[in-house]
A = this chain, B = another copy of it.
Amino acid sequence: MPSDLELIGTCALFRGLPPAAIAELGAAAAVERFEKKVLLFHEGEPARALWMLRAGRLKLTKLGGNGQEIVVRFLIPGDPFGAIAILAGARYPVSAEAVEACEAFSWTPADVAALVERYPAIGMNSARVMSERMQELQERYRELATERVAQRVARAILRLARQTGRRVEGGVLLDLPLSRQDLAELTGTTLFTISRTLSEWEQQGLVELGRERVLIKSPHGLVTIAEDLPS
């Protein structure tokens, strides 16, 4: 369990800053706790803060006109969020919802502005973090446009494994409460199709399923599907 200053000093957004900056960031940060299913903020709301996840898991979601929701991504401790609103718009372009009990740091826009002024390396760090997320989203956009559902689902699960996977006996467990609905909203399909796809994979011994739970028994098998290789 890293200390708060350690987490702040090593996360992608604030890495490489002088100790004085880290200390200032720690001093300016507010810490809040959120229970499962609570919305930290929602899409369209004016940006109150720049956030960083301290503990737990949350998801960023986006709403469509018809009421359909999509999951933009899941976050793990150390991930910044709400940054786009602070940088580019005055409003959050996504909602943030705790998928389990969470704790998050927050900084007011004024504090952020002052810190960026004093430590301009934060600007470059932000650009780098954005670039990485952009690269991932471009890739997912391509997948959504050109690949079949099974392929996209396999990729999504492998990506989650890289992000939150935990080795346990029998395989790699996705270490977050992940409903079929969530997975559908992450991959641009429906609850039903996800259920059918996963059930089939369970038959074949690739995964083991539970309520809001996926354990990967054969990462290699999923790669085969993700890359559309002959089995």
Contact = CB atoms under 8 A, between A and B. Distances in A.
Copy number in the complex reads 2
Contact of A134 (B66, B123, B128, B133): B133
A123 B13 CA distance: 13
B188 A146 contact: yes
Contact of A142 (B70, B83, B89, B145): B70
Interface in A66-90: 66, 68, 70, 72, 83-84, 87-89
B145 A188 contact: yes
Given A128-B88, A134-B130, A227 B65 contact: yes
Interface residues of A, number: 45
Given A70-B145, A124-B116, A146-B70, A89 B130 contact: no
Contacts of A84: 131, 134-135
A231 to B, nearest CB: 16
B88 A131 contact: yes
A138 interface: yes
A66 to B, nearest CB: 7
A184 to B, nearest CB: 10
B141 A88 contact: no
A121 interface: yes
Contact of A130 (B72, B93, B127, B146): B127
Nearest to A91: B135
A140 interface: yes
A87 B188 contact: no
A131 B133 CA distance: 10
Contacts of A139: 62, 93
A32 interface: no
16 contacts: A62-B142, A83-B127, A83-B131, A87-B127, A87-B131, A88-B128, A93-B135, A127-B127, A130-B130, A130-B131, A130-B134, A133-B134, A140-B141, A144-B145, A144-B188, A146-B188
A126 interface: yes
